[in-house]
Structure 1
């Protein structure tokens, strides 16, 4: 089974509660779940959040929509992540996605997973050698490799770093493959971290979502070319 884990929390230094902020009438977290579910390669999607009370509304909303949620203590990042993988059942590969990325592209997820399966690399991403806009990062790793990396890490490193980070830091131990775009779009940043970022996301969703909820990266790039008010994100 190929599992996707979407990491999301209600806490954010510059935009608290952004996961539940509305995009076209639904919370941003739900728009992300909708987009991720369009990936053909995935057998299961889990939203991972903390067990802190501040994340109760996020978890309650997702559970009410029938979305699987994993909640873990915040003390040890690697342990929390691996417990989520274990709770999912037998897993061959894990896809890691972040909750500040409302433009995540299902086709890109499929391409990265396909590369992981065909190359048999321990770790595949479009992150290490960036060429896609920030906010479209996809990381894929064999589940057994994530556990192996955590077992090799020092306790403090495992506490503060995800298993994906542990693998990514050790190309000498874990072979890697990299998925790249046809040209370099890495100067663009489509992550939602500030109110201005969210205003951008809302403008793009308003332009594209009504006609095609499954719009992709190329559609966003086309909007940026034709909208002067969004020129900041087209540089």
Structure 2
């Protein structure tokens, strides 16, 4: 008898009260909010059984819950500051065995790349000992394609035991900083995923500040009307055609762990 396939759920976090660009995920580009682009793209990822939006119980986040529900995406609402607890609650609600973690400020997330991450993790789960955690290498891919996958057991342990504020805010540090406790896979790099992608470029496609939004808006408006199913290499192509666009958010710095 073969073991049942694990239930794989992608959970994306979002809130309206971002400190640098409040309400950013409801800003519009190519005729729809960034959140809609993100959730629709994420939902196309091969291997996923469900997608959940994890937002807060704050009334300010009602529009996020309403937008997700209108797209047919399940919503879990929890504590604004305990993002780890929110993810654990969302995973329990969805009955997840494996959890893909992404953030809703990545409207250009690539479904095929998320699918490649899932496939690589499932292969690692068949090894001895099995993988507990795997991520996309955000230093080698454009920032904004970020995704991580971990077991529900690892997520639940983190939610029970993590006490450091950074571990509660950023969800997975409890796992990936404990290689003696969890088996960590080598991050997925360009050329190592099944699609044999070209080497990544050091671009920034997540939306934290107004300059990020301006760049992402231009990319979406250049690509989405032509082919809504465009991939990350199409984004790279557009930026090669418009190299001056890279200057738009070149000065923005990525937020780091506390």
**TM-score, with normalisation over the residues of structure 2?**
0.83
1:125 aligns with 2:135: yes
Q: Distance in 1 between matches of 2:174 and 2:81?
A: 17
Q: Distance in 2 between matches of 1:218 and 1:122?
A: 29
Rate the CA distance shift 1:186–1:9 in 2: closer, same or farther, 3 A: farther
Rate the CA distance shift 1:106–1:65 in 2: closer, same or farther, 3 A: closer
SS in 2 for 1:176: coil
Q: Say if 1:188 and 1:234, in contact at 8 Å, map to a contact too.
A: no
Report the alpha carbon displacement of residue 187 of structure 1 after superposing the two structures with TM. Answer: 2.8
C-alpha RMSD over aligned residues: 2.1
Task: Tell me the residue number matched to 2:68.
Answer: 62
Task: Tell me the residue number matched to 1:229.
Answer: 244
1:99 aligns with 2:104: yes
Q: Distance in 1 between matches of 2:240 and 2:221?
A: 16
Task: Tell me the residue number matched to 1:8.
Answer: 14
Task: Tell me the residue number matched to 1:212.
Answer: 227
Task: Tell me the residue number matched to 1:134.
Answer: 143
Rate the CA distance shift 1:10–1:173 in 2: closer, same or farther, 3 A: same
Report the alpha carbon displacement of residue 158 of structure 1 after superposing the two structures with TM. Answer: 8.1
Report the alpha carbon displacement of residue 196 of structure 1 after superposing the two structures with TM. Answer: 1.4
**TM-score, with normalisation over the residues of structure 1?**
0.91
Q: Distance in 2 between matches of 1:218 and 1:163?
A: 28
- Give the counterpart of 1:87 among 83, 93, 117: 93
In the TM superposition, 1:30-41 aligns within 5 A as 30-41=36-47
Report the alpha carbon displacement of residue 16 of structure 1 after superposing the two structures with TM. Answer: 1.2
How many pairs are equivalent?
232
Report the alpha carbon displacement of residue 163 of structure 1 after superposing the two structures with TM. Answer: 4.1
- Give the counterpart of 1:179 among 188, 191, 194: 188
Q: Distance in 1 between matches of 2:182 and 2:28?
A: 40
Rate the CA distance shift 1:158–1:20 in 2: closer, same or farther, 3 A: closer
Report the alpha carbon displacement of residue 193 of structure 1 after superposing the two structures with TM. Answer: 1.1
SS in 2 for 1:189: coil
Q: Deviations over 1:76-120 (max 9, x none)?
A: 33222211111112x221000011111100011011111111012
Q: Which structure has more helix as a fraction of its residues?
A: 1
Report the alpha carbon displacement of residue 173 of structure 1 after superposing the two structures with TM. Answer: 1.1
Rate the CA distance shift 1:148–1:228 in 2: closer, same or farther, 3 A: closer
Report the alpha carbon displacement of residue 156 of structure 1 after superposing the two structures with TM. Answer: 4.2
Can you give the 5+ residue segments of structure 2 that lack an aligned partner in the other structure? Answer: 1-6, 126-130, 192-197, 251-258
SS in 2 for 1:124: strand
Residue range with higher mean Cα deviation, 158-167 or 58-67: 158-167
- Give the counterpart of 2:35 among 29, 40, 45: 29
Q: Distance in 1 between matches of 2:249 and 2:189?
A: 19
Task: Tell me the residue number matched to 2:4.
Answer: none
